[in-house]
Structure 1
Amino acid sequence: MKLSYVYILKCSNNSYYTGVTTNLDQRLIEHRIGKHPDSYTYNKRPLSLVFYAEFTDINLAIMTEKQIKKWSRIKKEALINDDYDALPNLAKKKFKKE
C-alpha cells in the first residue's frame, strides 16, 4: 500500500503552503533546495514542516489538500496546533451586525 501525504510548510514570510505528495522526504528536499524556481515557496525559504497527515487513498489526500488551501490562516493554525475542537467553529462565517 502506497501512502500519500498532505503537508503544510511555514515559509520565511510567515505564510503557509499546503501540498500533497507520495514521497514526503523527497518533496521537502525539493522545496528546501528550490528545485522549482517558479513555485510559491522558492523565494520564501527557509521553510519548516509544521503539519502532515498520511493517507492510503491519493484521491482523498488531493481532496483534503484542496480543502485546506481554502481555509483561513486561523483555521490552518488550529489544525497545525492539534486544536481539532476549534475547527468546526472556525468554519462558520461571521456576519456583520447592523
Structure 2
Amino acid sequence: MPYAYMLRCRDGSYYVGSTWDLDRRVADHNLGQGLGAAYTSSRRPVVLVWSQHFDRIEDAFAFEKRVQGWGRAKREALIRGDWDAISALARRRSVREREAVDPG
C-alpha cells in the first residue's frame, strides 16, 4: 500500500518520504547501508512519527512534496492531527500577524 510518512531523526529534524512498504522503508532508513536517504544516514536512529495511507502512489508522492515545503510548526501540527493549526499556519504570515493584533 502506498504511504506518505514522516520520521523524527536523532537530531530532532524531520524527514518526509513516500513508499509502497512502510515497515521496510523505515527499517531501511535505520539500517543505512545505502538503503535509506542520504539525509537520514547521519541522523540515525529515526522514529516514525506520522504516516498516511493513500490509494495511489502518485497521491502519496504529491502529499510528500507538499509536506516537504512546510515549516516545523506545520509538520508538528500534522503529527498531532491538529487540522485547525495546519489551516491557521497555512495563512500568509501577514494575515496571521494582523489577526493576532485585531482578532475581531
TM-score (normalised: structure 1): 0.90
* Cα distance in 2, alignment partners of residues 13 and 92 from structure 1: 29
- Return closer, same or farther for 1:48/1:38 CA change in 2, 3 Å cut-off: closer
Structure 1 gap ranges (5+): none
**Higher percent of residues as helix:** 2
The aligned residue for residue 6 of structure 1 is: 4
The 5 Å alignment of 1:5-44 reads 5-36=3-34, 39-44=38-43
Structure 1 residue 38: deviation in Å?
6.4
- Structure 2: which amino acid aligns with 1:59? E
Q: CA deviation at 1:35?
A: 2.9
Amino acid at match of 1:20: S
Task: Specify every segment of 5 or more residues in structure 2 that has no aligned partner in the other structure, as ranges.
Answer: 99-104
Alignment of 1:12-91 (within 5 A): 12-36=10-34, 39-91=38-90
Structure 1 stretches of at least 4 aligned residues deviating more than 4 Å after TM superposition = none
Secondary structure, aligned partner of 1:79: helix
Q: Provide the C-alpha distance between the structure 2 equivalents of 1:21 and 1:56, rounded to a whole number of angstroms.
A: 12
- The higher radius of gyration belongs to 2
Q: Which amino acid aligns with 2:49?
A: V
- Percent identity of the aligned residues? 39
Supply the RMSD in Å over aligned alpha carbons.
Answer: 1.6
So what's the TM-score if we normalise by structure 2? 0.85
Q: What is the number of equivalent residue pairs in this alignment?
A: 95
- The CA distance in 2 between the partners of 1:25 and 1:38, in whole Å, is 15
Q: Are the aligned partners of 2:8 and 2:14 in contact in 1 as well (CA < 8 Å)?
A: yes
